[in-house]
């Protein structure tokens, strides 16, 4: 699939940006702080309902304005699709974060979960430093977003798990709580947690194979990347996982009451990354960390393509400038067949670019119309 048109209104420093994208490589070029990443951010927002770098949607609204809008049209299998996201500041919003939001998919009002699977995208960028070196939550999020894109139903399972967990923790913290109050939540947390564990474990096994192969190529065959799902619950199938979860909850009850938190389940799982058998998070060089995150992202793209039959859009924010000429060439070769959106501060940072690439200069929140790349 590929994006055909983007429209941003009052999104960060973009007051009104409208652009037509090329089917292959699109390069956004400009000095720092001009609004390049914001264009990619808009795409990710429309694909997943969440910005990779904003904690609240109000941060995205142009200062001094009260609302913002992102409108994306795409084409897949000769069918045009449209995703529209509008949000405004509203202190009385039931979402509790001061934003009111409206999502439409092909003109029909939709909830966040219904966004998944429409605009397929894989984003690599500065935030990936956290994937390589940050806390486990960043790696779990990568896997969760990928699973939701492959199968939107997963989004609901994961959301219900998170809610059940919140409820169970609330009961754990209640002073007068009787043991019986926990029973229904134990059942729900164990059942939903087993489903989450199983889906994640299967996916990571496949992701590991693809990422391992891509990393080997990126490192010129010199290094091995190992990706493993370190689940804190074991079990061959869902039923066994449920049994282990319930046994673990029973065994940990005292500690859980004392801490006021559920201590077992997939919310505490880790996805371990090792290069040549050493933890990347602790011992990896900067270059190794960048390459490993990139290998994971490219592996994501392969899995999405296998599962959905569609090539997702690749968003490469500041990635090119961290790669040497050989790796850049490899990345462009890997990406062949996909639509790619790249940001760079100067075209000179790009070693080689297909002659048909579209280039969009970005200045002060304004994007110039695309022009052909004449290398």
Ligand X SMILES: Nc1ncnc2c1ncn2[C@@H]1O[C@H](COP(=O)(O)OP(=O)(O)OP(=O)(O)O)[C@@H](O)[C@H]1O
Out of ligand X, Mg ion, none, what residue 254 binds, judged by CB under 5 to 8 A for its kind, is none
Q: How far is the CB of 88 from Mg ion (least distance, A)?
A: 25
- Exposure on the CB side of residue 253, measured as CA atoms within 13 A: 14
Between 62 and 232, whose beta carbon lies closer to ligand X? 62
Q: Using CB atoms, what's the residue nearest to ligand X?
A: 37
Between 13 and 308, whose beta carbon lies closer to ligand X? 13
- Exposure on the CB side of residue 294, measured as CA atoms within 13 A: 28
Pair type for strands 358-363 and 2-11:
unpaired
Out of Mg ion, ligand X, none, what residue 366 binds, judged by CB under 5 to 8 A for its kind, is none
Q: Could you tell me the two tokens for 23?
A: 């089917």
- Quick one: which of 38, 99, 244, 328 contacts ligand X (CB under 6 A)? 38
Out of ligand X, Mg ion, none, what residue 178 binds, judged by CB under 5 to 8 A for its kind, is none
For ligand X, what does the binding mask look like between residues 18 and 37, x meaning CB under 6 A?
Answer: ------------x-xxxxxx
Query: Among all chains, which residue has been given the structure tokens 């995208």?
Result: 121
Please tell me whether residue 118 binds ligand X under the rule CB under 6 A: no
Between 37 and 244, whose beta carbon lies closer to Mg ion? 37
Q: Which stretch binds Mg ion (CB under 5 A): 7-15, 31-39, 141-149, 245-253?
A: 31-39
Out of Mg ion, ligand X, none, what residue 34 binds, judged by CB under 5 to 8 A for its kind, is ligand X
Give DSSP secondary structure letters for 142-204: HHHHHHHHH-HHHHHHHHHHHHHHHHHHHHHH-TT--HHHHHHHHHHHHHHHHHHHHHHHHHH
Q: Of 322, 329, 327, nearest to 128 (Cα)?
A: 322
Q: Which stretch binds ligand X (CB under 6 A): 59-67, 100-108, 109-117, 158-166?
A: 59-67
Please tell me whether residue 37 binds Mg ion under the rule CB under 5 A: yes
Q: How far is the CB of 180 from ligand X (least distance, A)?
A: 49
Please tell me whether residue 322 binds ligand X under the rule CB under 6 A: no
Q: Could you tell me the two tokens for 206?
A: 């496949």
Distances (CA, A) of 73 to 24, 31, 47: 16, 27, 11
Residue 201: partners with Cβ closer than 8 Å, 6 or more residues away: 229, 231
Q: Give the Cα separation of 288 and 277 in Å (integer).
A: 13
Between 263 and 349, whose beta carbon lies closer to ligand X? 349
Tell me the torsion sign for CA atoms 169, 172, 173, 178: positive
Q: How far is the CB of 222 from ligand X (least distance, A)?
A: 31
Between 61 and 85, whose beta carbon lies closer to ligand X? 61
Out of ligand X, Mg ion, none, what residue 74 binds, judged by CB under 5 to 8 A for its kind, is none
Between 30 and 312, whose beta carbon lies closer to ligand X? 30
Out of ligand X, Mg ion, none, what residue 33 binds, judged by CB under 5 to 8 A for its kind, is ligand X
Out of ligand X, Mg ion, none, what residue 125 binds, judged by CB under 5 to 8 A for its kind, is none
SS3 34: coil
DSSP 276: T
Between 63 and 282, whose beta carbon lies closer to ligand X? 63
Name the strands in the sheet holding 225-230, side by side, starting at the edge strand that comes first in the sequence.
Answer: 225-230, 270-275, 278-279
Q: Are 106 and 81 in contact (CB under 8 A)?
A: yes
Please tell me whether residue 99 binds ligand X under the rule CB under 6 A: no
Q: Give the Cα separation of 115 and 152 in Å (integer).
A: 8
DSSP 114: G
Q: How far is the CB of 58 from Mg ion (least distance, A)?
A: 20
Between 28 and 334, whose beta carbon lies closer to ligand X? 28
Q: Give the Cα separation of 153 and 148 in Å (integer).
A: 7
SS3 320: helix
Q: Using CB atoms, what's the residue nearest to Mg ion?
A: 37
Please tell me whether residue 62 binds ligand X under the rule CB under 6 A: yes
Binding site for Mg ion (CB under 5 A): 37
Binding site for ligand X (CB under 6 A): 12-13, 30, 32-38, 59, 61-63, 343, 345
């Amino acid at each position: 699939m590929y994006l055909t048109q983007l429209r941003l209104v009052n999104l960060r420093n973009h007051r009104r940006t409208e652009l037509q994208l090329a089917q292959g490589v699109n390069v956004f070029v400009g000095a720092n702080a001009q609004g390049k990443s914001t264009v990619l951010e808009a795409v990710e927002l429309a694909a997943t309902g969440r910005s990779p770098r904003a904690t609240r949607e109000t941060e995205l609204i142009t200062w001094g304005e009260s609302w913002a809008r992102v409108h994306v049209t795409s084409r897949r299998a000769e069918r045009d699709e449209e995703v529209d996201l509008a949000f405004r500041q509203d202190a009385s919003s039931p979402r509790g974060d001061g934003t009111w939001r409206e999502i439409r998919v092909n003109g029909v009002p939709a909830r966040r979960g219904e966004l998944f699977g429409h605009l397929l995208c894989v984003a690599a960028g500065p935030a990936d430093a956290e994937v390589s070196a940050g806390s486990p939550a960043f790696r779990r999020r990568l896997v969760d977003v990928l699973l939701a894109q492959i199968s939107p139903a997963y989004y609901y399972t994961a959301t219900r798990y998170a809610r059940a967990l919140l409820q169970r923790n609330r009961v754990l913290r209640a002073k007068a709580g009787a043991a019986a109050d926990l029973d229904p939540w134990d059942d729900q947390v164990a059942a939903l947690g087993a489903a989450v564990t199983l889906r994640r474990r299967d996916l990571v096994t496949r992701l590991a194979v693809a990422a391992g192969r891509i990393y080997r190529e990126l490192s010129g065959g010199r290094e091995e990347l190992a990706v493993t799902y370190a689940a804190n619950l074991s079990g061959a199938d869902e039923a066994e996982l449920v049994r282990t979860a319930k046994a673990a909850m029973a065994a940990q009850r005292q500690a859980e009451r004392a801490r006021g938190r559920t201590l077992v389940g997939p919310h505490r799982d880790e996805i371990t990354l090792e290069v040549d058998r050493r933890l990347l998070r602790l011992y990896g060089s900067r270059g190794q960390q960048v390459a490993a995150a990139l290998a994971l992202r490219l592996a994501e793209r392969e899995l999405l393509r296998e599962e959905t039959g569609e090539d997702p859009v690749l968003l490469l924010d500041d990635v090119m400038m961290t790669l040497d000429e050989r790796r850049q060439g490899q990345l462009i070769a890997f990406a062949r067949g996909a639509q790619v959106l790249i940001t760079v501060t100067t075209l000179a940072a790009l070693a080689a670019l297909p002659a048909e690439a579209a280039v969009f200069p970005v200045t002060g929140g304004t994007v110039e119309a695309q022009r052909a790349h004449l290398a």
